[in-house]
Structure 1
Amino acid sequence: MDIFTRFAPFIQDYIYEHGWKNLRSIQVGAAETIFNSQDNVLLAASTASGKTEAAFFPILTDLYENPPQSVGVLYISPLKALINDQYERLNELCQDVDIPVWRWHGEVTQTQKRKLLKHPSGILQITPESLESLMINKHMDIPNLFHDLKYIVIDELHSFLRSDRGGQTFCLIERLSKMADVDPRRIGLSATIGDTKSAAEFLGAGSKHKTTVPKVEGSGQVWRLSMEHFYDNGPQADSNDFDPAQPVLDEKSDQAPNTADPSMAYIFEHTRGKKCLVFTNSREECEAVCQILRQYCEVKHEPDRFLIHHGNLSAAYRQTAEVEMKDEDSLMTTCATATLELGIDIGKLERAFQIDAPFTVSGFLQRMGRTGRRGNPSEMWFVMRESHPESRAMLPEIIPWSLLQGIALVQLYLEERWVEPPEPNLLPYSLLYHQTMSTLASNGEMTPAELASRVLTLHYFRNVSQDDYRVLLRHLIREDHIQQTENGGLIVGLSGERVVNNFKFYAVFQENEEYAVKSESEELGTIVKPPPVGDKIAIAGRVWVVEDVDRKRHQVYCHPVKGRIPAYFGDVAGDIQPEILQRMNKILTEKKQYPYLMKHATARLKEVRDTAKTSGMLESNLINLGGKMWCLFPWTGTYAFLALERLIKIKCAKRIGLRGFNSSRPYFMQFAMDVSKEEFLEILVEEANKDFDSLELVYPNEVPVFDKYDEYLPDELVRKEFAHSILDIEEMKKCVNQLQ
């Protein structure tokens, strides 16, 4: 406990008051590094391991002993809900000392923001989007706000490692540091980092400090894990154990669905009397699941015990769920998306359910980590769903992809501690547009050379050439996003103002055009593509009839009704890494039994292994489906799969007589061809190994808009970004050379 004596008296008091008998290894390691060096620090440890205290005990001690003359700590979080949660925890820590904690996001009052601007001090908590807004709209205040900034804490670092949002965050950190003339240390926190070396490099990119990862002793985690499989109706895979005559719902009730869904019945029964989370992979699915579970309550004459939480709900609905989750005595279950995946402390949660497989090991670990606090083991119940295949369904359609994917995610972590590594965009032109416009909007008129020196020197754009930047600037001047003044300076043009002056500009992730949904005085949330008046919509776990649509103000007015319909929020499937598909393939070839599989899942796995063996899938990636129809199983990641699709359609089509091509990315491709299996593989390997530019896998007139601001880029840069940053040519070539 030597490090204990180094903490400020109020930190020592906090530790005593909470009855801590000793400090955890991550808290000792973090304090030693922060106190005894000037390094950046990556704190990578399991959920509920005390990372927040590990970072803030020494940081607050420093602020107490050496009070900063401005904001001393900038805390960046991916979610407002996480900020609100940590705001309470930090205020409790700082309640006896003069270290104020401030929040800055869309739900914080202007009064609070004005107070901060007048008296910059303490800790400021912010999202990347609000920081972008601050940089643009309060440009002149930045030096005063941050001239004595000592630390930048980035919470849930893993959520920034694989997207332009992460690139934006680190661009903003660099820009702010230059504007305020400071060199703050960076402290990254995450529970789901696999490759700490590459994550540390990402955290420290563009910083003058080296990055240290304190060693953390393994805590010997205990998991309670189960995985069950359900067909949506009829006999289950383990039919001896299933009685379809015993549905949970009374099918004669006009409130019940036509056929009771056994997977929902399973969740309904096993959440009773417990506080649980039910995770889904999309907002649509979240709404559907909550509707069904509430309907079960109604038919069973039980009180409603289900809440809902996702990004399109109003703040009031989200906060209601969060408050209920924190209530130690609550026995409510919340249906959620990734919005409750990150580190909000939701108290003593007994069990988490995951419907179908998530896309990443990181997501699985985060969701698993929501449970198991207060000394209990983490507990996750996977519920894998599938429809009975039609009698004439072809081979790839009778494989339970979600079940295989779920097993692969679990096994990759258990066997190798593998988690998705950082994956920055090689040519992030969409973000380049965004940061160019943001820099101009905040700084005012600049010469082209000044603008280039501000933007191109940001570490995230290290692969962008000056020639490409000139192409971009000329295009933006032609399109009036940027205007050239009489003396040769650059300012935001009229078209650019329409983009920059919209609040949605602050975010770099894709957003749909959303309509606010209201019922009388109640704000429900937002939806995409409102239906005509009289039609129904699904939001907040209920069904509503549209009374009026105000397209000018983007508002929908409605009233509640009973029933069930699908919701739509514009969700897209996630990117799945090659390692996950390769482990899925291995599941089919090995005889290993997995102890967490329940009866139906065990039986379904045996079925698919038998199917794979008899079909020839275990010996070859290419299977004949009859006649000239073939199915290719590449077992590679989403973006390598996409590159392979294009290689076949662009480079091989004529040589093999390709037709009727369609795919289920990233699992399989089906097509007809005129050549033999051996000829196809020979042609494919030959074409893949040729020395070609990845731009050749973009169709002649195609402009594949992929990221949010691609529509404002010149076509040649859109094509170039897609070819070099989206298509994974290297992994595709590796995959082709391993096909058999």
Structure 2
Amino acid sequence: MRVPTVFDQLPEEIREALTRRGIREPTPAQAGAIPLILSGKNVLLVAPTGYGKTEAAVLPLLARLKAQPAGEGVKLLYVTPLRALNRDLEDRIRWMASSVGLSVAVRHGDTTQSERRRQSLHPPDVLVTTPETLQVLLVGRRLRSHMRSVAAVVIDEVHELVDDKRGVQLAVALERLKELVGHPLQRVALSATVGDPRLVGRAFFGGEPFEVVDVSATKEMELRVLLPEPSEEDVKLASETGADPAVVARIRTITEVASSASSTLLFTNTRSAAEALGHRLAKWFPKLAVSVHHSSLSRDVRVEAERALKSGELDTLVSTSSLELGIDVGHVDLVIQYMSPRQATRLVQRVGRSGHRVGEVSRGVVVTSDADEFLESLVICRRAKGGELEVPRIPPKPLDVALHQTVGLLLEYRRIPTVSALSILRRVHAYAELSRDELVETLRYVYSSWNRPLWISEDGEFLALPHRRENSYRYYFENLSTIPDERRYPVVEESSGLLIGYLDEAFVLDDLYPGVKFVFKGSVWVFRRIEAGRVLVVRAEDPTGAIPSWVGEDLPVPFDVAVEVGRLRRIAEEEIKSEGVEGAVRTILRGYPFADAEDVRRALQPIWEHVRLGVPVGTDRRVVIEGFSNYVVIHSCAGTLVNRTLSRLLGQVMVEEVGLGVLTNSDPYRIILKPASVEAVERALHSLLGRDLRSLLLRILPRTGRFGVRVLQVAKRMGLISKAASLRELSLKKIVEAYEGTPVYREAISESLTRDYDLEGAERLMSSMETGEVQIATVVRDSPSPLAWLGLRRSQFFLEILPPESLERILLQAAKARILGTDLVVVCPFCWSWWTSVKVKTLLDTRMTLTCPSCGSKALAAFSGRWASRAVQAVEEARKRGRPAVSDSELADRAFRLATLTEKFGSLALVAAAARDVDPEDLRALLTRHREADDEFFRELTRLESESIRRRYL
């Protein structure tokens, strides 16, 4: 006998359509949500990927629409944050709507003009759109009138919107839509697993009652954490490629894990990591079919990667957060997270992409790089399995969004009382505490600006469009997106043309000047100049005095996660003292059964070393101030934002009370200061106890580049600085000074305190120190402790604290790896009719002797870097002329001189020619002294490089 389901409550046409699609049983999400939505309630549905959330929302809403009288206009609005609407979502909504005879259209930034016109003349019943396009629809002449008939709204992927200004902007737009239709809208919000679902609901339901259907706990996850150790094969491949053996071990582990699945999603935390992983996997392990997917790639490239994984052409797709959303990539067996996911919410959402059908197990593997990351990932796995997810931080009453939405209201109504705008804003959770004075002051400030997108009466009671309405339209449409435009500069090694990475525009233009040294990608570089949009640099021999580079960063590690890592450290320290390492391993695995005993044992090695050396460990109940040389490391398990906050505060106190300016660096588990002493830092830390940390931090913020970027972004969103303005023409310092005391400045402070710092967490930690709940221990050593080393290796101070012989060895190996990996262009300077390309390492490994196939000469010249392209061009020109002559006399002279070296010294001369811009006579002297490519040969070759660069620039 058939058991009744919630599908029986749907109209016959929908039930038949479900049967045709092979859908016979409702998922838990559909069973919980459909009855509530059919009854007209507002619903927040929280469920993992693959649980049919879209059907759970749309089907009952279509049933309600079918029961209403037919009429013109849009009846159901489906809003999705996906910037490129995926075809799968559109097709699913179309078949559902067609089952009840309703039409569907999609409207977003890429919609063609002809399609837009068609929608204006013949509006669809169901409109699928984005938050930004909704802003356009509300002020459009024809479509606005069609929107008056909207009865219900579905907001998809709300977890992607809830904690940023994009979500606040959408929430206000929904209130504006409610004003337009003249009655409450039925709202259904769809979310992946989140912390505090009721807070998420309050963010989007405008103060109206709602129900939460949360079926996320029904999804089973199988999680593992790995800490790869280099094998002999890894060391061998590392020596061949010039890579770090630990990196090779991690990538080899990824291939081994991925080989156990038919299709794998490999998530990274940054675009640069995705590109590097994709390149290395394809190059080192070519049997693995791999591609890359991230938001900076073109839409066509992303769609092709999605199709290839879905069709089985790819084994593994490397991605950033671009594939966290509900893009259909077919069945995924396994998710690998490269490096710590940093937050439990991110892990749940990413791992949920595997085994995404109801009843299937989601499998996830985290591949970590060191003990910190390993313990952090164990904690995150436990929290993910236990449903202890991070609570979103909703931006508090953002003034830039309030301004934009007020101008939007004026474009709708031309003139409104200020109290009406305030009333609409206050219905949104983020603006519940927005005062009239705050709104009026913001509007007055912008009214007094050159742009003037609105008019406000002298008493502040009324608002209207200004006489020049084009300013209002221009401001509104240029700021539809709250996502800041952040330009990034490619960093290029000047001589070789090698791309090193990318830096944020704010750092490049505010902190770099010719000759300054900065740390980037694990090396120290000297800034030369900006040319053709590229930052040109040369490698620095002496790292002393280098400043840290900074770029837009990854998710912060939350306070609660870092504290639990501290708890793990404390348990391990206590167990090692009483039961030994094996006892600690067993205890850890009982509470965190996500790893092998060997990996746990290796991760606990630094703590065992601390116990052996008698050095206290930083834990959840102990802050350790460790000093060595002129450095101090504060071991504080407090998370990214708390430690950043404390590092700023301590740096300021050291200046004020000790008279000592210090450089600071922080990560989730420590703060590093230099130059400093344990005594001075301890005094500074104690002086913060009981102090007003907020006022102190507000004094510090204006002097930070991070805050300057916030001010610039807010000013752009308020239309006070052109969106197209580049920092090339601006100064962050002058921008901060210009807006001090204005609504722009106050909003930048609010944004900084929400996104860049955690003042509340810092105050909580300081209070725990004051009460003795968290103890302060001090230790002075001759060298860094193992846990200090973990942080120092990731900081800008790493190269400075190495012993001279270690530093020399690292720099030599890096230079050697670079030279061995250089691609040489070899030409014959006698006939100029032939060239070839060969890698230096290939020359050495095969001991090949090259001969010109045209004239038989062995006197060949090798070029790299900027010379290589000139040499190829010269050969091509000579071929066209049909005679051995080149117009580039400088190149011809260098080619002849290098060729004489090859004739006398053989292939080793070609290797030496890989050095950048070294005079051939200097190479002759080197080759006379060295007949083998040993370490001494490379040491002297890199010295010649440095001298050549120094002569060229100084």
Q: TM-score range by the shorter chain?
A: 0.7 to 0.9
Output the amino acid matched with 1:592.
I
Larger radius of gyration: 2
Which residue pairs with 2:380 in the alignment?
409
Which residue pairs with 2:262 in the alignment?
274
Counterparts in 2 of 1:538 and 1:468: CA distance versus 1, 3 Å: same
Which residue pairs with 1:564 in the alignment?
none
Which residue pairs with 1:577 in the alignment?
558
Pairwise CA distance, 1:187: 0.7
Give the 5 Å matches for 1:25-174: 25-36=28-39, 38-66=40-68, 67=70, 69-81=72-84, 83-136=86-139, 138=140, 140-174=141-175
Deviation readout 1:455-489 (Å, 9 max, x if unpaired): 75452333333333333233323331216779985
Cα contact 2:407–2:454 (8 A) shared by 1: no
2:404 aligned with 1:434: yes
2:436 aligned with 1:466: yes
Counterparts in 2 of 1:605 and 1:537: CA distance versus 1, 3 Å: closer
3-state SS in 2 of match to 1:576: coil
Which residue pairs with 1:378 in the alignment?
362
3-state SS in 1 of match to 2:588: coil
Counterparts in 2 of 1:90 and 1:247: CA distance versus 1, 3 Å: farther
Pairwise CA distance, 1:656: 4.8
Which residue pairs with 2:248 in the alignment?
261
2:483 aligned with 1:509: yes
3-state SS in 2 of match to 1:47: coil
Pairwise CA distance, 1:494: 9.9
2:332 aligned with 1:349: yes
2:361 aligned with 1:363: no
Which residue pairs with 1:233 in the alignment?
none
Which residue pairs with 2:189 in the alignment?
188
Give the 5 Å matches for 1:381-400: 381-386=365-370, 400=371
Give the 5 Å matches for 1:584-733: 584-590=565-571, 591-593=587-589, 594-598=592-596, 601-611=599-609, 613=611, 614-616=614-616, 617-618=618-619, 620-626=622-628, 629-651=631-653, 653-656=655-658, 658-671=660-673, 672-673=676-677, 675=679, 679-688=683-692, 695-696=698-699, 698-699=701-702, 704-706=708-710, 708-710=713-715, 712=718, 714-716=739-741, 717-724=743-750, 726=753, 727-733=757-763
Deviation readout 1:19-76 (Å, 9 max, x if unpaired): 455323332221221122x321011123322222221221121123324642222111
Pairwise CA distance, 1:342: 1.3
Cα contact 1:158–1:193 (8 A) shared by 2: yes
Output the amino acid matched with 1:585.
G
Query: C-alpha separation between the residues in 1 aligned to 2:454 and 2:44?
Result: 43
Query: C-alpha separation between the residues in 2 aligned to 1:709 and 1:30?
Result: 39
1:296 aligns with one of 262, 279, 284:
284
Q: Percent identity?
A: 23
Counterparts in 2 of 1:42 and 1:338: CA distance versus 1, 3 Å: same
Deviation readout 1:277-327 (Å, 9 max, x if unpaired): 111111111111111122125xx5x4x721221111111101111222332
3-state SS in 2 of match to 1:736: helix
TM-score (norm 2): 0.63
Highest relative contact order (Cα 8 Å, sep 6+), 1 or 2?
1
Counterparts in 2 of 1:443 and 1:665: CA distance versus 1, 3 Å: farther
Counterparts in 2 of 1:608 and 1:192: CA distance versus 1, 3 Å: farther
Pairwise CA distance, 1:435: 2.9
Query: C-alpha separation between the residues in 2 aligned to 1:550 and 1:123?
Result: 51
Cα contact 1:622–1:677 (8 A) shared by 2: no
Which residue pairs with 1:736 in the alignment?
766
Which residue pairs with 1:546 in the alignment?
none
Pairwise CA distance, 1:167: 0.7
3-state SS in 2 of match to 1:103: strand
Query: C-alpha separation between the residues in 1 aligned to 2:559 and 2:101?
Result: 51
Query: C-alpha separation between the residues in 1 aligned to 2:455 and 2:365?
Result: 62
2:299 aligned with 1:315: yes
Output the amino acid matched with 1:418.
E
2:394 aligned with 1:419: no
- Provide the aligned C-alpha RMSD in A: 3.8
Output the amino acid matched with 2:595.
L
Query: C-alpha separation between the residues in 1 aligned to 2:452 and 2:491?
Result: 32
Counterparts in 2 of 1:150 and 1:247: CA distance versus 1, 3 Å: farther
Query: C-alpha separation between the residues in 1 aligned to 2:67 and 2:361?
Result: 39
Query: C-alpha separation between the residues in 2 aligned to 1:665 and 1:463?
Result: 34
2:222 aligns with one of 199, 215, 224:
224
Counterparts in 2 of 1:486 and 1:634: CA distance versus 1, 3 Å: closer
Query: C-alpha separation between the residues in 2 aligned to 1:529 and 1:510?
Result: 22
Output the amino acid matched with 1:45.
A
Output the amino acid matched with 2:688.
L
Query: C-alpha separation between the residues in 2 aligned to 1:661 and 1:709?
Result: 28
Query: C-alpha separation between the residues in 2 aligned to 1:659 and 1:487?
Result: 49
3-state SS in 1 of match to 2:13: helix
Pairwise CA distance, 1:715: 2.8
Output the amino acid matched with 1:200.
G
2:449 aligned with 1:479: yes
2:289 aligns with one of 301, 305, 321:
305
Which residue pairs with 1:393 in the alignment?
none
Counterparts in 2 of 1:276 and 1:465: CA distance versus 1, 3 Å: same
3-state SS in 1 of match to 2:657: helix
Which residue pairs with 1:522 in the alignment?
none
Which residue pairs with 1:178 in the alignment?
179
Cα contact 2:636–2:669 (8 A) shared by 1: yes
